[in-house]
Amino acid sequence: MTLDAPALRQALARTPGASTDGLEVVHTLLCRREAGAFQRAARLTGQGAQELLVACTQEQRLFLELNEETEGAAPVQERPIRFVNIRETAGWARDGRAATPKIAALIAAAQLPSAEPVPNVSYRSAGRCLVIGEAEAAERAAAMLADKLDVSVLVGSGGSALAQAHVRATHSGRLTRLTGWLGRFEAEWESTNPIDLDLCTRCNACIAACPEGAIGLDYQVDLQACRTHRDCVRVCDAAGAIDFDRTPQAQGDSFDLVLDLRAHPAFSHHQPPQGYFHVAADERRLMTAVLALRELTGEFDKPRFFRYQPKLCAHSRNEVIGCSACIEVCSTRAIRSDASRKGQTKESRGGGVIVEPYLCVGCGACSTVCPSGAMSFVYPGTVDQGKRLRTLLTAYAQAGGRDAALLVHSEGTGARLIDELGRAARVDRALQGVAPRVLPVAVWHTASVGLDLWLAAIAQGAVQIWVLLTQDDAPEYREALAEQMAVAQAVLAGLGYAGTHLRLLEARDARDLSALDHALRAPPAQGVAHAATFTTQADKRATLELALEHLVAQSARVPEHIALPAAGSPWGNLALDLGKCTVCLSCVSACPAGALADNPDKPQLKFTERSCVQCGLCVGICPEHALQLEPRLWLAEGGRSRKAPRVLAEMEPYRCVRCGKPFGTLRAIDNLVAKLAGHAAFQGAAAERLKMCGDCRVVDIYSHPGEVRITDL
């Protein structure tokens, strides 16, 4: 690579938090031949120097081993060594000589302190494994696992032969239910086979005795071929394994691991639970699964990827469903509704959702689609992720870079594809590689970065956000990200920023490198004239407001409002049919975001548009069907109007016909009286009591005890 050390030093000197120590000497071939240079740097960490940063990832394993063997070097447990790839991602691009601003940005971001650790979720596996499939295939797979795991086999009626030696628990039947995760699977199956495989001694006497040949070496009885001779029962008298009078039995057991050899998996969703392996008849996948299963005994930890705040959740109130975005997008089925919860507690003003941390794999899609910020991704959180993006953009701009495009990709498959593109561009003149203006951003999962961070990055100087999807990404993620991008693009286009700012890129493997390379050559879109300096907040909507304020301030034209797509919009108006509304205020009690409010002094319904998350709870709970969502971004008076509450409806109060005290609204009481006018229980004095306040109604009942009906009570 061609490295401009003075330029890098100058760029990093202007980047907050970045260090320029050690840049006096630049190693352009930092591999095995310069191992001594690494060891000299490693010794400095043992003398109290700052953490060591190695701008090479190819020989990461070698450098870590050298650190352990270098006398005087600090152990990585005390001072971790940071690694950053500036070769495939920058220096090996076709325009690598122009990549100095990008290299400075990558080095600056690599020096940021690690995010705060998150709590762990622990799995415990004793190695009890269930293998499901046809007899012969299941026995073969079980034999490959038996020396490490406690294996049981569940076979169907496939016709293949069981092993003659009865060396493990063997069951026959149809799997009816499988739930759980690593260390806690619950399996249920129904057996209609007259032969109990666990009692069967594999003596084959029944096979020899059956005149119809209805019993095979899988020890299943073909009931269509079987007649009533029952010779098999007679010869199996000692073992007692055959019983034709046995009713279909529902059986079950607990397992730590499951290997499924059937054609169709037990779990239909994209990401099955950890500890479950579906391989069908694929020999390669079988070998991979066997190797993984053999190591899955003991205790295992993974991060608790999410934080859920029930009080912000807009899923349900009083069993009325509002927003279900997180439930619909979850590819592991780790989120389910808890709409049956009633009442108002300190933690939640109604029903919410339940997230099973043992099923969660940390895609973060739930946080991306959540309009209220009730669900947030914490590995890392938005504050740390936002700081990283701002550092990248700031260092890039300080080093003279222009038109920065952020390429968000996964740390696994996405990073490998980008590395492959960088290496391919070094030998294939038709490829450009990762262009100098494209800043790769590795994240745990691409679906974990959404609207708030995208718009914040655009406000802070990026002109484009590209998200790289691979074969690992579920269809739900593609749809959700596309919807969120449509909202963001509508906002930017509405504010007059020209070009396409957000785009999904897809690549499965090396065969798609040419298309990926072409996509990275897209022309830049229009960005802000002056980059924002705000800090990303933990509160999603607070970050969105900061980004919007800057984008509006930098816009040459600000419309009164911007229409937004109905799918995925976190902002919008609430249209009210005044001809139907009675100001009953049911919607106020249902609103989880405080966007709707009443007036304690008079019947009045007020609405603050900035707070509305477009969950639809108010629409669902309105008894008069007077409300309708209207996705939009209201920018009248530069966006100040949407921050202030405005009156949607107000009415004259209805006054008690007995004492004159106001209660309810005129339209609400008139509607009630009109609806009950023909009801036999509300005639005469009972009808008059509908027009009284609560106190007077009680007094009137006790004043006329002989006229009281059950309905009055």
pLDDT over 50 (residue 432): yes
**Mean pLDDT, the chain, integer:** 90
Q: How many CA atoms lie within 13 A of 131 on its CB side?
A: 25
Closest among 565, 547, 446 to 503, alpha carbons compared: 446
Phi, psi of 104 (to 5 degrees): -60, -40
User: Looking at residue 27, what is its pLDDT?
Assistant: 64
Round to whole Å and give the CA distance between 31 and 426: 18
Round to whole Å and give the CA distance between 397 and 420: 27
User: Looking at residue 19, what is its pLDDT?
Assistant: 65
For β-strands 82-83 and 53-54, DSSP reports them as parallel
pLDDT over 80 (residue 82): yes
Candidate from 134-138, 273-277, 645-649, 652-656 with smallest mean pLDDT: 652-656
Using a CB cutoff of 8 Å and minimum separation of 24, what contacts does 530-534 make?
530/554, 531/393, 531/394, 531/397, 531/459, 531/460, 531/461, 532/456, 532/459, 532/460, 532/461, 533/390, 533/460, 534/456, 534/459, 534/460
What does the pLDDT look like over 460-491, one tens digit per residue? 999 999 999 999 999 999 999 999 999 999 99
User: Looking at residue 25, what is its pLDDT?
Assistant: 47
User: Looking at residue 22, what is its pLDDT?
Assistant: 55
Using a CB cutoff of 8 Å and minimum separation of 24, what contacts does 282-285 make?
none
User: Looking at residue 158, what is its pLDDT?
Assistant: 60
Overall average pLDDT of the 547-559 stretch? 95
pLDDT over 90 (residue 172): no
Candidate from 163-177, 277-291, 418-432, 570-584 with smallest mean pLDDT: 163-177
Overall average pLDDT of the 13-25 stretch? 62
Top CATH class, 380-542: alpha beta
User: Looking at residue 45, what is its pLDDT?
Assistant: 82
**Residue 161 is which amino acid?**
A
Overall average pLDDT of the 522-548 stretch? 97
SS3 state at 215: strand
pLDDT over 50 (residue 205): yes
Max mean pLDDT range (214-223, 524-533, 697-706): 524-533
DSSP string, 425-461: HHH-TT---S-TTEEEEEES-GGG--HHHHHHHHHTT
pLDDT over 80 (residue 180): yes
Max mean pLDDT range (143-147, 159-163, 578-582, 702-706): 143-147
User: Looking at residue 388, what is its pLDDT?
Assistant: 96
- Domain 304-377 in CATH 3.30.70.20: yes
Overall average pLDDT of the 158-179 stretch? 83
**pLDDT confidence band for 77 (50 / 70 / 90):** confident
Boundaries of every domain in the chain: 123-301, 304-377, 380-542, 572-650, 654-712
pLDDT over 60 (residue 400): yes
Overall average pLDDT of the 481-503 stretch? 98
Overall average pLDDT of the 517-537 stretch? 97
**pLDDT confidence band for 406 (50 / 70 / 90):** very high
Same fold, 123-301 and 572-650: no
For β-strands 169-172 and 320-321, DSSP reports them as unpaired
User: Looking at residue 343, what is its pLDDT?
Assistant: 44
Candidate from 27-36, 533-542, 549-558, 604-613 with smallest mean pLDDT: 27-36
Looking at the domain that runs over 572-650, which CATH code has it been given?
Answer: 3.30.70.3270
* Domain formed by 123-301, architecture: 3-Layer(bba) Sandwich (3.50)
253 or 688: which leads in pLDDT:
253
The pTM assigned to this predicted structure is 0.87
**pLDDT confidence band for 687 (50 / 70 / 90):** confident
What does the pLDDT look like over 210-225, one tens digit per residue? 999 898 888 888 888 8
Could you tell me how many residues make up the chain? 713
3-state secondary structure 340-355: CCCCCCCCCCCCEEEE
Overall average pLDDT of the 694-707 stretch? 79
User: Looking at residue 29, what is its pLDDT?
Assistant: 67
What does the pLDDT look like over 327-373, one tens digit per residue? 999 999 999 998 765 544 444 445 789 999 999 999 999 999 999 99
